[in-house]
Structure 1
Amino acid sequence: MRVAGREHEGMLESLIAFVGAAVLIAMAPGPSTVVIMRESVRSGRRAGLATTLGNEVGVLAWGLAAAVGLSALLAASQLAYDVLRVVGAAVLVYFGVRTLWQARRGAFATETGTETDAAVEAEAGAGRSAWSAWRCFRLGLITNFANPKAGVFAVSFLPQFVPEGQPVMATLLALSVLWVLIDLAWYTVVVWVVDAARRVLGRPAVRRRLEQVSGAVLVGLGVRLAAETR
């Protein structure tokens, strides 16, 4: 009984520590945050939530990979890590350049008089009504998968919270699901806040500036990922 009590207490302490760490990690800005906020501004709350769901499927996949030991390959193999790192960096740079181009095209159209602010607002409204859940979901998933550090992080982060005497596989799977739920809760708050401010953030001039900032951040993150070593 005493041993079982100690194991229960150890599990509770690990869960508390894990929840605290996972909350801090979720709040740390990264590529996923940029993409989720951008889609929320461009197409509204449902688009932001669909992007979030795609991102969380990616988080769960990394967690499951850590549970079965697959992501350990990234931690052990420099070649595997470098290949995924370069591919991921290219994806982030592509997203960033495309976002910058879209922002530049909108600004150019307005400056030359071929597109008024009213037309931009009408186009934004049409975009909100015609948004694709699958496109947003896929965007969130790809953005998450484009970061190999997530895999390395999962395999080094999750095992720290498996108490001694607990089944490793089952505990890692449970922690992975809890990690996703915490991440999902945080990004849902982010989406709701952005959506509440969309009347201001969705103005043509403000939206173009946000597109420019988002594009530049994604390009910067991609370049940083490509240049970093471990």
Structure 2
Amino acid sequence: MHASTAIVTILVALLIGAMSPGPSFLIVVRHAIGLSRRDGLASALGMGVGAVLFSGVALVGLYSLLAAVGWLYLMLKVAGGLYLIYLASRIWRGAKTPLDVDAFARSAGNPRKSFWIGLTTQLSNPKTAVYYGSIFAALLPQHPPEWAYFVLPPAIFAIETGWYTIVALGFSTRKPREVYLRAKRWIDRAAAGAIAALGVRLIATAHRVGL
């Protein structure tokens, strides 16, 4: 796979992962509904900053190690593929579970505090770290070009912050919120299918030293 194609595929995979409801999603929803639109946007910014930190660690630490140890690269791809399939099954099973937005009571907001809550929520979620490692191991070449180190972090920031900004704006407005809640089951199942397919691909290509 060409490096530029791999970068685009990584960004699409990370967008799918961000769109799958989890702790980060619920925090942004809670702030947008229970506090204010500004708090929702501040927490979205925190999610984006946390994603950049994850991508930096994955790029620098992970690939410095994988470049020297080929068998570890293969093992990580298999483990990452199995994790992605497991994650997809969890998302699929939870697709029918409704998101109870009425439980988010509105109270006084604090955008600065919401930013830090968003950031710490992102950084404290081990599943996010594993997901990033799995995606990078699956799609990024074992010896990525230098420009990838400069392109990926800002692109990931734009994707994560952009998606959670949409969430904050949507859930602070009644009609978009209702549309999402009606389509939640199908959105979750589509995301689960895409993540599972990526996991299967990762395992199927694990024998290859590089991509």
From 84, 88, 97, the equivalent of 1:102 is 97
The residue that corresponds to 1:89 in the other structure is 85
Q: TM-score, normalised on structure 2? A: 0.60
1:192 corresponds, among 162, 165, 176, to 165
Q: Distance in 1 between matches of 2:191 and 2:85?
A: 9
Asked if 1:217 is matched to 2:190, the reply is: yes
- The amino acid that maps onto 1:187 is E
2:61 to 58, 61, 65: 65
Cα offset for 1:178? 4.7
User: For residues 200 and 35 of structure 1, what CA distance do their matches in structure 2 show?
Assistant: 21
Tell me the SS of whatever aligns to 1:158: coil
Quick check: 2:41–2:165 contact (8 Å CA) kept in 1? yes
> Hey, what's the Cα distance between the residues in 2 that align with 1:84 and 1:72?
19
Alignment partner of 2:66: what SS?
coil
Q: How many residues align?
A: 181
Amino acid at match of 1:206: V
Contact 2:59–2:149, Cα closer than 8 Å, also in 1: yes
State the identity %: 10
RMSD value, Cα? 4.1
Superposition TM-score, scaled by structure 1 size:
0.56
Q: How does 1:70-149 map to 2 (within 5 A)?
A: 70=66, 73=69, 77-98=73-94, 100-103=95-98, 121-125=101-105, 133=118, 134-139=120-125, 142-143=127-128, 145-146=130-131, 148-149=134-135
Shift of 1:136: 4.1
1:152 to 1:200, Cα distance in 2 relative to 1, 3 A: same
Structure number, greater radius of gyration:
1
AA partner of residue 139 (structure 2): F
**Equivalence for 1:165:** none
Q: Which residue number in structure 2 is paired with residue 151 of structure 1?
A: 137
Q: What are structure 1's unaligned runs of at least 5 residues?
A: 1-17, 107-119, 163-174
Structure 2 unaligned residues grouped into runs of 5+: 32-39, 206-211
8 A Cα contact 2:84 2:196, kept in partner: no
* Structure 1 residues 63 and 57: alpha-carbon distance in aligned structure 2, compared to 1, 3 A threshold: same
CA distance in 2: counterparts of 1:46 and 1:181, whole angstroms: 18
Instruction: After TM superposition, give the deviation of residue 145 of structure 1 in Å.
Output: 2.3
Shift of 1:220: 1.4
Report the 3-state secondary structure (helix = DSSP H, G, I; strand = E; otherwise coil) of the residue aligned with 2:104: helix
Paired amino acid for 1:124: F
Distance in 1 separating the partners of 2:42 and 2:67: 31
Give distance in 2, aligned partners of 1:73 and 1:152: 16
CA gap of 1:177–1:86, structure 2 versus 1, over 3 A, is same
